[in-house]
Amino acid sequence: MQSFIEGLPKVELHLHIEGTLEPELMFKLAERNRVQLSYKTIEEVRKAYQFNNLQTFLDIYYQGAQVLQNEQDFYDLAWAYFSKAHSQNVRHAEIFFDPQTHTARGIPFETVISGLRKAQEDAEQKTGLSSRLIMCFLRHLSPEEALDTLEEAKPFRKWITGVGLDSSEQGRPPALFQKVYEQAEAAGFLPVAHAGEEGPAEYVWEALQLLKSRRIDHGVRSTDDPELIQYLIREQIPLTVCPLSNIKLRVFQTMKEHNLRRMLQMGVCVTINSDDPAYFGGYMNENFLAAQRDLELTKDELVKLSANAIKASFIDENARQVLTAELNEYYRKNV
Ligand code: HPA
Ligand code: ZN
């Protein structure tokens, strides 16, 4: 099973680039940029990565991002992720970035996106791994600040495929961001949103109905509402599920209790993703492996998860067909 998962062609749709900052690179960038870290050793950093919920994680995650200052830093961050993803047979990745985490510290939007963009181009050229960027609004900040961020992004529209919504969910309903999503869609950005991670199923409805979200990031609490689940199945709205993240942040107490397989068997278009791999203990293979082991996923189900991700991605039809053909070939040879 392990080698089957490792060889499986994969597509990642829920990955925060700031969440790929490994402690080793954090220390290197802290030194390069003369940033004082509150940790003395890499072991100390890893020991601090014990979370009770989303907010305890976010506090540490935003702190880590402070070492990112120059274009080269964003390049190095993204390049490290692409190398890792390529080594795990990820063929395509749709990557979130949080411009407000950086612009609030005086780092220009252009610095962030130029570094990411160059790494994307190098990854595609050198490894064949294609990628897209999705800009997230931080939902703990105001809708007005999100509107300002959208304006800053417009000159870079051709480099940014979509908009997303992340950070603290509880008490920050999608409805707050309806206006900025309307403007983003009018400017050609494809809408997605985190919903139903810690927040209620009602937030998933809002993300779909008010933000016109094409996919739901996480969405695991959708099973609280049978009507919503039926809607997701009927409309084939993809959920980008992140198994290790959900355990680390105690959305589920154990992997055996995770509803991923149940949703898959009901016919929901679920996918497996890594969210913030440097913080949650694993990239795509580790997420697939942990879910496979504890939920006893079959090879057919693993292939279905990859097929769902291809279907749910924002790549063009030609690339979708190439990926589908590769996955079918893998199925034919290995199942
Ligand atoms: N949820 C909300 N905000 C985030 C996450 C997440 O899983 N990861 C990074 N920012
Ligand atoms: Zn996320």
Active site residue: 12, 169, 197, 206, which one? Answer: 197
Q: Report yes or no: 43 and 246 within 8 Å, Cβ to Cβ.
A: no
Ligand 1 center to 82 CA (angstroms): 20
The pLDDT score that the predictor gives to residue 129 is 98
Q: Which two tokens stand for residue 182?
A: 């309307």
* Residues 259-302 pLDDT 10s: 999 999 999 999 999 999 999 999 999 999 999 999 999 999 99
Cβ(197) to ligand 1 under 6 A?
yes
Measured from the Cα of 98, ligand 1's closest atom is 10
pLDDT beneath 50, residues of the chain:
none
Number of H helices and number of E strands within the chain?
A: 17, 9
Domain boundaries, the chain: 2-334
Cβ(198) to ligand 1 under 6 A?
no
Q: Whose CA is nearest to atom 2 of ligand 1?
A: 167
Ligand 1 center to 318 CA (angstroms): 31
Cβ(275) to ligand 1 under 6 A?
yes
User: Which helix (DSSP H) or strand (DSSP E) does residue 153 occupy?
Assistant: helix 143-153
Q: Locate all alpha helices (DSSP H) within 140-280, ordered by sequence.
A: 143-153, 178-186, 201-209, 226-235, 243-248, 260-266, 277-280
Active site (annotated) includes residue 197:
yes
Whose CA is closest to 63, among 35, 92, 94? 35
Cβ(98) to ligand 1 under 6 A?
no
| CB-side neighbour CA atoms (13 Å) of 112 | 28
The pLDDT score that the predictor gives to residue 225 is 98
Taking the C-alpha atoms of residue 228 and residue 181, their distance in angstroms, rounded to an integer, is 22
- Compute CA distances 224 → 62, 196, 229, whole Å: 30, 10, 8
Q: Report yes or no: 237 and 209 within 8 Å, Cβ to Cβ.
A: no
Q: Report yes or no: 150 and 109 within 8 Å, Cβ to Cβ.
A: no
Q: Please tell me the number of the ligand nearest to residue 19's CA.
A: 1
Taking the C-alpha atoms of residue 215 and residue 237, their distance in angstroms, rounded to an integer, is 6
The pLDDT score that the predictor gives to residue 80 is 98
User: Which helix (DSSP H) or strand (DSSP E) does residue 195 occupy?
Assistant: strand 193-195
Q: Please tell me the number of the ligand nearest to residue 215's CA.
A: 2
Taking the C-alpha atoms of residue 72 and residue 22, their distance in angstroms, rounded to an integer, is 16
Please report, in angstroms and rounded to a whole number, the separation of the first and last CA atoms in the chain.
Answer: 11
The pLDDT score that the predictor gives to residue 322 is 98
Cβ(243) to ligand 1 under 6 A?
no
The pLDDT score that the predictor gives to residue 216 is 99
Q: Whose CA is nearest to atom 10 of ligand 1?
A: 167
The pLDDT score that the predictor gives to residue 278 is 98
Cβ(120) to ligand 1 under 6 A?
no
Q: Three-class SS of residue 292?
A: helix
Pocket test for ligand 1, best of 18, 167, 169 (most atoms within 8 A of CB): 167
* Residues 86-108 pLDDT 10s: 999 999 999 999 999 999 999 99
Tell me the helix, strand and coil percentages in the chain, rounded to 5.
Answer: 60, 15, 25
Q: Whose CA is nearest to atom 4 of ligand 1?
A: 167
Cβ(16) to ligand 1 under 6 A?
yes
Whose CA is closest to 308, among 3, 14, 4? 14
Ligand 1 center to 334 CA (angstroms): 35
Ligand 1 center to 8 CA (angstroms): 26
User: Which fold would CATH assign to domain 2-334?
Assistant: TIM Barrel (3.20.20)
